Structure 1
Amino acid sequence: MEEQQKKEDGLLNKEETDTLHVDQILRALNPRGRYQILHILLVLLGIPSAGFQLLSNVFIAKRVPHRCAGPPDGSGWSDIFGDTGNLTIVQGRCKLLLTDNSSVVDSAPCVYGHQYKMPENASVISQFDLVCDMDWLARLSQSMVIAGQGVGVVINTFLSDRFGRKTVLVSTSFCLLGCGLAVAYAPNAIVFVVLKFLIGGFQQGILVSKATLFVELLPVEYRSVQSWLSGCTWGFSMMLFAFIAFCFRLRSLFFQTYENDSFMDESLRWLIANGKMKQAQKVIRRIARMNKRSETTILQQIQEKLVLRKENGAEDSERPHKLVGQESCQRLSLLDVLKVKRLLFNSVCLWFCW
Structure 2
Amino acid sequence: MAVKGTEVDTVLNALGGKGLYQRVHHLLMALTSFSAMYQLLDMIFIGRVIPHECSAPPNGTDITIPEVELSPSNYTVEYGQCNIYIKYNTTISINTEHTLPCLYGMTYTERKDASIVSEFDLVCERGALGDLPQTLLILGQATGALVLPFFSDRYGRKPTNIISHAGILGIGVATAFSNSYIMFAILRLLMGIVQQGVVLTSATYTIEVYPTLYRRYVGIIGTVVRGICLVSMTPFGYFLRMESWRTQQLAFCSVSLYIIIEVIFLDESLRWLIANGKYDKALKNVKKAAKWNKVDVNMVVDKFNELVGWQTLIIPKPEKANELLLNEGETKPLEKIEKYSLLDILKRKKLALNTFILWYLWCTAALSYFGLFFTSSSLVGDKYLNFFLYALMEFPAGIIFVLIIDRFGRKKTLATFFTLCGTGMILATIIKVTSDSYAASICITILSLVGKLGAGGAFSACFFYTPEIFPTNLRNVGLGSASIAARVGGMLGPFSRLLAEHIAWGPGAVFGGCNLLATLLITILPETKGKELPQTMAEVKLLYKKIPDDSTDKKTKIFTVDSSDL
**TM-score bin, normalised by smaller chain:** 0.7 to 0.9
Residues 1:113 and 2:105 aligned together: yes
Equivalent in the alignment of 1:166: 158
Deviation at 1:353, TM superposition (A): 2.8
- SS class of match (1:221): helix
Paired residue type of 1:89: V
Paired residue type of 1:353: A
Q: 2:54·2:106 contact (CA, 8 Å) conserved in 1?
A: yes
Among 297, 300, 323, the alignment partner of 2:299 is 297
Paired residue type of 2:365: C
Paired residue type of 2:263: S
Deviation at 1:125, TM superposition (A): 0.6
Equivalent in the alignment of 2:17: 31
> Relative to structure 1, is the Cα distance of residues 307 and 236 closer, same or farther in structure 2, using a 3 angstrom cutoff?
closer
> Relative to structure 1, is the Cα distance of residues 301 and 279 closer, same or farther in structure 2, using a 3 angstrom cutoff?
closer
Among 248, 253, 262, the alignment partner of 2:247 is 253
> Relative to structure 1, is the Cα distance of residues 141 and 134 closer, same or farther in structure 2, using a 3 angstrom cutoff?
same
> Relative to structure 1, is the Cα distance of residues 190 and 308 closer, same or farther in structure 2, using a 3 angstrom cutoff?
closer
Paired residue type of 2:128: W
Q: Structure 2 CA distance, aligned partners of 1:151 and 1:308?
A: 38
Deviation at 1:29, TM superposition (A): 2.0
Among 35, 38, 53, the alignment partner of 1:49 is 35
Q: 1:273·1:326 contact (CA, 8 Å) conserved in 2?
A: no
Residues 1:340 and 2:348 aligned together: yes
> Relative to structure 1, is the Cα distance of residues 103 and 123 closer, same or farther in structure 2, using a 3 angstrom cutoff?
farther
Deviation at 1:262, TM superposition (A): 1.4
Q: Structure 2 CA distance, aligned partners of 1:338 and 1:28?
A: 36
| Aligned residue runs from structure 1 range 239-318, under 5 A | 239-249=231-241, 250=243, 251-255=245-249, 256-257=253-254, 258=256, 259-260=258-259, 261-263=262-264, 264-303=266-305
Q: 2:19·2:293 contact (CA, 8 Å) conserved in 1?
A: yes
Among 331, 348, 365, the alignment partner of 1:353 is 365
* % identical aligned pairs: 33
Residues 1:70 and 2:56 aligned together: yes
Q: Which moved more, 1:86-95 or 1:344-353?
A: 344-353
Deviation at 1:20, TM superposition (A): 5.0
Q: 2:270·2:285 contact (CA, 8 Å) conserved in 1?
A: yes
Count of residues in Structure 1 that have an aligned counterpart in Structure 2: 324
Deviation at 1:100, TM superposition (A): 3.4
Paired residue type of 1:55: L
Residues 1:178 and 2:170 aligned together: yes
Q: Structure 1 CA distance, aligned partners of 2:309 and 2:203?
A: 35
- SS class of match (1:335): helix
Q: 1:96·1:110 contact (CA, 8 Å) conserved in 2?
A: yes
Question: 1:25-58, CA deviations, whole angstroms, 9 ceiling, x for partnerless residues?
Answer: 2222222222112112222222132122222212
Q: Structure 1 CA distance, aligned partners of 2:337 and 2:280?
A: 22
Q: 1:137·1:189 contact (CA, 8 Å) conserved in 2?
A: no
Equivalent in the alignment of 2:88: 100
Deviation at 1:155, TM superposition (A): 0.7
Q: Structure 2 CA distance, aligned partners of 1:163 and 1:69?
A: 56
Q: Which moved more, 1:222-231 or 1:102-111?
A: 102-111
Among 118, 132, 143, the alignment partner of 1:140 is 132
Deviation at 1:234, TM superposition (A): 2.5
* 4+ runs deviating over 6 angstroms: 304-309
- What's the RMSD between the two structures over aligned residues? 2.9
> Relative to structure 1, is the Cα distance of residues 297 and 341 closer, same or farther in structure 2, using a 3 angstrom cutoff?
same
Question: 1:223-276, CA deviations, whole angstroms, 9 ceiling, x for partnerless residues?
Answer: 233124323433443343323321332322333221212121111111122122
- SS class of match (1:73): helix
Q: Structure 2 CA distance, aligned partners of 1:83 and 1:306?
A: 91
Paired residue type of 1:37: R
Q: 2:27·2:221 contact (CA, 8 Å) conserved in 1?
A: no
Question: 1:294-335, CA deviations, whole angstroms, 9 ceiling, x for partnerless residues?
Answer: 4333223445678999xxxxxxxxxxxxxxx98456543213
- SS class of match (2:179): coil
Q: Structure 2 CA distance, aligned partners of 1:134 and 1:149?
A: 25
Q: With CA pairs under 8 Å and 6+ residues apart, which has the higher RCO, 1 or 2? A: 1
Equivalent in the alignment of 1:87: 75
Q: Structure 2 CA distance, aligned partners of 1:141 and 1:44?
A: 26
Equivalent in the alignment of 2:142: 150
Q: 1:43·1:210 contact (CA, 8 Å) conserved in 2?
A: yes
Q: Structure 1 CA distance, aligned partners of 2:310 and 2:193?
A: 47
Structure 2 length as normaliser, TM-score? 0.53
Q: 1:97·1:104 contact (CA, 8 Å) conserved in 2?
A: no
Deviation at 1:343, TM superposition (A): 3.2
Q: Structure 2 CA distance, aligned partners of 1:18 and 1:252?
A: 54
Q: 2:17·2:214 contact (CA, 8 Å) conserved in 1?
A: no
Q: Structure 1 CA distance, aligned partners of 2:48 and 2:310?
A: 65
Q: Structure 1 CA distance, aligned partners of 2:343 and 2:96?
A: 61
Structure 1: which 5+ residue stretches go unaligned?
1-16, 310-324
Q: Structure 1 CA distance, aligned partners of 2:308 and 2:80?
A: 80
Q: 1:18·1:326 contact (CA, 8 Å) conserved in 2?
A: no
- SS class of match (1:129): coil
> Relative to structure 1, is the Cα distance of residues 132 and 271 closer, same or farther in structure 2, using a 3 angstrom cutoff?
same
Equivalent in the alignment of 2:193: 201
